[in-house]
Amino acid sequence: MRVLVTGGAGYVGSFTVRQLLGAGHEVVVIDNLSSGRREAVGECPLEVLDILDSHGLRSVCRSFRPQAVLHFAALKSSEASLSEIDTYFRVNVTGTQNVVAAAAEADVERFIFSSSCAVYGTPQICPVDEESPIRPESPYGETKYLCERMIAAYGRATGMRYANLRYFNAAGAAVDSSLGEYTDRTTRQILPVAIRSVLGLAPAIRIFGDDYPTEDGTALRDYVHVEDLARAHVQVLHRLDRDEWSGPVNLGGGQPTSVAELLDALRKVSGHDVEAIPAARRPGDPAVSWADPGLAHRRFGWQTEYGLDDIVRTSWAWHSDVPASLG
Ligand SMILES: NC(=O)c1ccc[n+]([C@@H]2O[C@H](COP(=O)([O-])OP(=O)(O)OC[C@H]3O[C@@H](n4cnc5c(N)ncnc54)[C@H](O)[C@@H]3O)[C@@H](O)[C@H]2O)c1
């Protein structure tokens, strides 16, 4: 299948591109390289293009004639979206409209969108399934939900099948350290920040909230290995081809992991101490959030192959082996 991938030079996108190529698909990547890396796409054709350039998007669609579009390109920090709200709505919402409109104009039949568990905000009940109330708490989460609705509307109007994949926390790297996440001082995700701290590139890690109503007092999250996430895209793509179904799908491991457990796993894997300082809870951070990935399993046969130890081990190896990954 001819597959157009926006944001394919980024973290989740680059793993997905690699797996799509491995499955025999023909892939073209669109990325403005604002956070993505040219080397992450390897030999795959890359159009350096901004998704705000609707003319450029249409032109790529006309020449490549994609049969499916996987749309990863976006800005992704809930925290930054508070201070950069205009930019977040422009890139994430206007950019997505440009991508969906170009796809519809090119008669693309399958559209897969990178949504987020941020659409649920603070869940009332965990694990969170797709019927849970939608209550985004950041402009970022709002942009993701607006995009989901826009894609659903295009789907109804044009017959394009779509999947809005709500990722929980992507983490980990390739087992051979050939691909992984590029980080810098602005990175907020706990695992790369903790690794940076162990490697002496950042101060002691702050644990935001150690008085939550959880067993060890720290927040519970759902980490999902990036290879598992990437494989989900390939499986969903193949099924969208056959099924008459469209809708939202949670992609998480379905296992809650506390911040303290994650740091313990890093201590074990790295053989180093991980200095952690308790800090105040951050507004908008849920105490607990983990997925019910049952729909992804029932509908697409997807389940995770990697667990917490794999996530921590591959991340640690990637950041230790590839100094460029640390910015
Ligand atoms: N990483 C996670 O844990 C996570 C969780 C939930 C949802 N998501 C979503 O998954 C998607 C991919 O996330 P990621 O972690 O790979 O992020 P990333 O920043 O590594 O990748 C995003 C890619 O999009 C590109 N991009 C950004 N703005 C662009 C623009 N205007 N035009 C063209 N390209 C642009 C970047 O250069 C980058 O290559 C995003 O939509 C994100 O919101 C990620």
Within 6 Å (CB) of ligand 1, which residues are found?
Answer: 7, 9-13, 31-36, 50-52, 72-74, 76, 91, 95, 114, 116, 167, 169-170
Across 41-61, b (16+ Cβ under 10 Å) vs e yields beebebbebbbeebebbbebb
Q: What is the pLDDT of residue 101?
A: 98
| Residues facing residue 165 across a β-bridge | 114, 249
Number of the ligand 1 atom closest to the C-alpha atom of 182:
20
Per domain, the residue ranges of the chain are 2-171+223-251, 190-221+254-326
Q: Which atom of ligand 1 is nearest to the CA of 13?
A: 16
Q: How far is the CA of 32 from the centre of ligand 1 (A)?
A: 11
Of 14, 16, 33, 34, the one to substitute when testing ligand 1's pocket (max ligand atoms within 8 A of C-beta) is: 34
The type of residue at 111 is F
How far apart, in Å, are the Cα atoms of 92 and each of 12, 95, 98, 171, 183? Answer: 16, 5, 10, 22, 21
Task: Read off the pTM.
Answer: 0.97
Residue range 190-221+254-326 forms a domain whose CATH class is: alpha beta
Q: Please report, in tens digits, the pLDDT of each residue of the chain (327 residues total).
A: 999 999 999 999 999 999 999 999 999 999 999 999 999 999 999 999 999 999 999 999 999 999 999 999 999 999 899 999 999 999 999 999 999 999 999 999 999 999 999 999 999 999 999 999 999 999 999 999 999 999 999 999 999 999 999 999 999 999 999 999 999 888 888 999 999 999 999 999 999 999 999 999 999 999 999 999 999 999 999 999 777 899 999 999 999 999 999 999 999 999 999 999 999 998 778 899 999 999 999 999 999 999 999 999 999 999 999 988 888
Q: Is the peptide bond before 127 cis (omega within 30 degrees of 0)?
A: yes
DSSP for residue 284: T
Asked if 56 contacts 49 with a C-beta cutoff of 8 angstroms, the reply is yes
Q: How far is the CA of 114 from the centre of ligand 1 (A)?
A: 8
CA of 174 to the centre of ligand 1 (A): 18
Residue 123 Cα distances to 3, 119, 221, 255, angstroms: 34, 10, 12, 15
Please report the pLDDT score of residue 323 as a whole number.
87
- Specify the CATH superfamily of domain 2-171+223-251: NAD(P)-binding Rossmann-like Domain (3.40.50.720)
Q: Which two tokens stand for residue 288?
A: 């607990």
Give the catalytic positions in this structure.
140
All residues at 6 or more sequence positions from 4 whose CB lies less than 8 Å from its CB, including other chains? 27, 28, 30, 60, 61, 64, 66, 68, 69, 70, 103, 108
- Give yes or no for a contact between 302 and 163, defined as CB atoms under 8 angstroms apart: no
Q: What percentage of the chain carries pLDDT values higher than 70? A: 100
Whole-number pLDDT of residue 317: 97
Ligand 1: centre distance to CA 266 (Å): 25
Counting atoms of ligand 1 from 1, which one is nearest the CA of 31? Answer: 34
Contact between residue 312 and residue 265 where contact means Cβ atoms under 8 Å apart = yes
DSSP bridge pairs for 220 = 258, 288
Among 11, 87, 147, which residue has the most ligand 1 atoms within 8 Å of its CB, making it the best to mutate?
A: 11
**Residue 29 is encoded by which pair of tokens?**
């990547």
The span from the CA of 38 to the CA of 54, in Å, is 22
